[in-house]
Amino acid sequence: MSYTYKDIAKRSGVSITTVSRVINKKDLHKVGKKNREKVEALIKKLDFTPNIIARSLVSKKTFNIAVAIKDLEDIINPYFSQVVSGIAYVLERRGYYLQLVRTLSGKEPPLSPYYLKAIQEKRVDGLILLSEEAKDKEVLELHRKKVPIVLVNRYINGEKIHSVLIDNEKGLYEAAKALIGLGRRKIVFMAGSLEFQLDRDRLNGYKRALSENNIGFDASLVTEGRFEFDKASEAFERLLAQNKQFDAIAASDDVMALACITALKKKSISVPGDVSVIGFNDMLLVPAASPTLSSMRLPLVDIGKEAANMLLKLIDKEKFERLSVTFTPELIRRESIAPYSRKDQAG
């Protein structure tokens, strides 16, 4: 038998509004514990499932949320999978569906027109953007058309767009500072791409650590690995071929850090003896590395949860105390870093 909100309300002896709040898990602070338990018990007893079409007509929502990453295959990257896991955790408990969309690179235009159109036509209620590949102009177009949008690990200078941020400048500063504290003076910075604001911020942190310790900045020790193992390997091999001297690497993510360690092993350069290495994100794959990888830890699932909660507040037109929330990375020390004690440097 099919039931409606009205049926649940009548059988529970509460208002339809109360039933709606319990089912949608919204404004639960306005529902007494006794009434909430009555409604929840009846929903379970009747095996009640809301009719999504009727629910959408009443609320004027689709209950679909778009989550944009560079390409769908990137979901295997632990950074994206953990953040998306946090997003899904919140959405599922609020009765929303997650729709993965991609921002494209290369010859295809960022934010493919189909998905841009889908968002603008309200086929989804809002967008969480995890990708740096979408151009600022596409993001601003959505924002100016009042599409609820939350940026993750990204901001646009001068624009008031809600965002969940990472203190990237401090993160790389702390990584480089830790390496310097171990006696390392010639530190490679393996960025993802300096086209991206996050890596420009990390470069600034790297430079600040060098400056505070009277170490000159050497642009030739900065390279880009595009956040991919193969491309990071290629970039690092080119650096090795130039016979550059270095004794440490601070990488902008763990995948690129592991690519560097793999290349060093092939050259019989010891880690951490000859070269100490620190990654960024502290993703699930790290403990399996040999040596185990030191990394700047981020609570990726919590970042996803924060982004989802922020977007749902935007959709519901709730008030915000602040425009953004910032997470600060924490250095997790493992086997890939050690005090510098040898005279010879890598290169």
Q: Rounded mean pLDDT of 97-110?
A: 72
Using an 8 Å Cβ cutoff, are 87 and 121 in contact? Answer: no
Asked if the domains 64-166+300-330 and 168-297 are classified in one and the same CATH topology, the answer is yes
| Each residue's pLDDT tens digit, 232-267 | 999 999 999 999 999 999 999 999 999 999 999 999
Q: Which alpha helices (H) appear in the chain, and where do they start and end?
A: 5-12, 16-24, 33-46, 52-59, 78-93, 113-120, 136-144, 168-181, 197-212, 229-241, 254-266, 300-315
Minimum mean pLDDT range among 44-53, 74-83, 324-333 = 44-53
> Which superfamily does CATH assign the domain made up of 168-297 to?
Response regulator (3.40.50.2300)
Q: What is the dihedral of CA 224, 229, 235, 237, to 10 degrees?
A: 150
CB atoms within 10 A of CB 19: 26
With cut-offs at 50, 70 and 90, classify the pLDDT of residue 155.
Answer: very high
Higher pLDDT, 319 or 173: 173
Q: How many residues does the chain have?
A: 347
Considering the domain delimited by 64-166+300-330, tell me its CATH architecture: 3-Layer(aba) Sandwich (3.40)
With cut-offs at 50, 70 and 90, classify the pLDDT of residue 28.
Answer: confident
293/281 Cα distance (integer angstroms): 11
315/65 Cα distance (integer angstroms): 10
Nearest to 142 by CA among 164, 125, 162, 120: 120
The domain segmentation of the chain, as residue ranges, is: 5-59, 64-166+300-330, 168-297
Nearest to 155 by CA among 129, 176, 191: 129
Nearest to 201 by CA among 212, 189, 185: 189
pTM equals 0.82
With cut-offs at 50, 70 and 90, classify the pLDDT of residue 201.
Answer: very high
SS3 73: helix
The secondary structure of residue 60, as a DSSP letter, is: T
The topology (CATH level 3) of 5-59 is 434 Repressor (Amino-terminal Domain) (1.10.260)
pLDDT, position 344: 46
146/126 Cα distance (integer angstroms): 10
